Amino acid sequence: MDEEQTVPTTYVLPNKEFLEIADGDTLPEIGDGIYTGGVAYRVTDLWFIDDDDAPLPYGFNVFLTEAPKAGNTLREFDPIFFA
């Protein structure tokens, strides 16, 4: 029986640090929100990297920017927790 291979997904934070997330079944889309480490982010770009010499890891690289404080749905839902 063939095992299905998964491709790693790496989230690239604004400071160019990598946040590796376990292989998932779905990829976020540009504009999606991600909340991790107490910070709300928006997905701004998504690239698949398949080059051993690239400065990014193999697989899907999801680029994040910090979500604005104004108009942030999470803050509107609970302004104390998502301050």
Q: What is the pTM of this model?
A: 0.81
Per-residue pLDDT for the chain (83 aa), expressed as one digit of tens each?
456 678 889 999 999 988 876 666 788 999 999 888 889 999 999 999 999 899 999 999 999 999 988 888 888 899 889 87
pLDDT value for 71:
81
Rounded distance between C-alpha atoms, residue 38 and residue 59, angstroms: 25
